[in-house]
Amino acid sequence: MWRDVRAVVFDTDGVITDSARVHAAAWKAAFDACLRDHVPADSRLRRPFDIRDDYLRYVDGKSRLDGAASFLDSRGLTLPPGHPDDRPGTGTVAAVAAYKERIFMERLREGGIEAYPGTVRLLEALRERGVPLAAASASRHAPELLARAGVLPLFDALVDGAEAARLHLPGKPDPALFLEATRRLGVPAGQAAVVEDALAGVEAGGRGGFRLVVGVDRTAGPDTGAALLRHGADIVVRDLSELLTEDVKE
């Protein structure tokens, strides 16, 4: 499987670090507050945010504003977009995104962020084999997360949310973020792999023409693996240690 792969791009949240659960919990606090303040007219849409299904479907892998707008739309709520400087609240899409950000930062400081041991083992094995590695993330927090988890030195390149904004890269499922990462590694996408846990992320890998798209399903639920395959993953694993095959170890 790794024979023709000359570089690997790893998504950050949920693939390298266990921070996806912190993001999901912060989104839940912000969205549920919003749903209390703006009760959907359609009673079938009056459901709280589901940290597994709604997170995967509407916000995972997207920029904060895209994710907030996407979930609110799913509940029939059309809030004004607001302004990037809006204070945390529930009156505009930007305020809801800021609300999530405030809670995420509080929880990040309270609890440690760790790298998944299986991911670290794969990263080290690929490095030993001389494969250039990049971390990519729609989040501006990616460098801090990777540093806190102690894995930042394992990567040759990092494209985070701040870089994406600076370069005006569209968000996933557009492959721009991943293509920028492989460009920095000096390897064409057709000879590189993408490792992703978000539906929008595996879709981006497929659209970008990557040699291999690996989906990571941490949910242990019945549906996520099939959804990752439908959205463009070539294979799905529960943990990246499953990819420590003989050809990567040798």
Residue in the structure block whose two tokens are 């701040």? 162
Q: Catalytic site residue 13? A: yes
* Complex with Mg ion: residue 14 or 171, whichever CB lies closer: 14
Nearest distance, CB of residue 19 and Mg ion, angstroms: 9
**Cis preceding-peptide flag for 173 (omega within 30 of 0):** yes
Q: Are 88 and 82 in contact (CB under 8 A)?
A: no
Nearest distance, CB of residue 86 and Mg ion, angstroms: 25
- Closest residue to Mg ion: CB criterion: 14
Nearest distance, CB of residue 224 and Mg ion, angstroms: 12
Phi-psi sector, 150: left (phi>0), alpha (psi -120 to 50), beta? left
Binding stretches for Mg ion (CB under 5 A): 11, 13-14, 197-198
Q: Catalytic site residue 18? A: no
Nearest distance, CB of residue 11 and Mg ion, angstroms: 4
The whole-angstrom separation of Cα 187 and Cα 199 is 24
Q: Are 146 and 164 in contact (CB under 8 A)?
A: no
11, 60, 66, 217: the catalytic one is 11
Amino acid at 154: L
The whole-angstrom separation of Cα 244 and Cα 181 is 23
The residues assigned a catalytic role are 11, 13
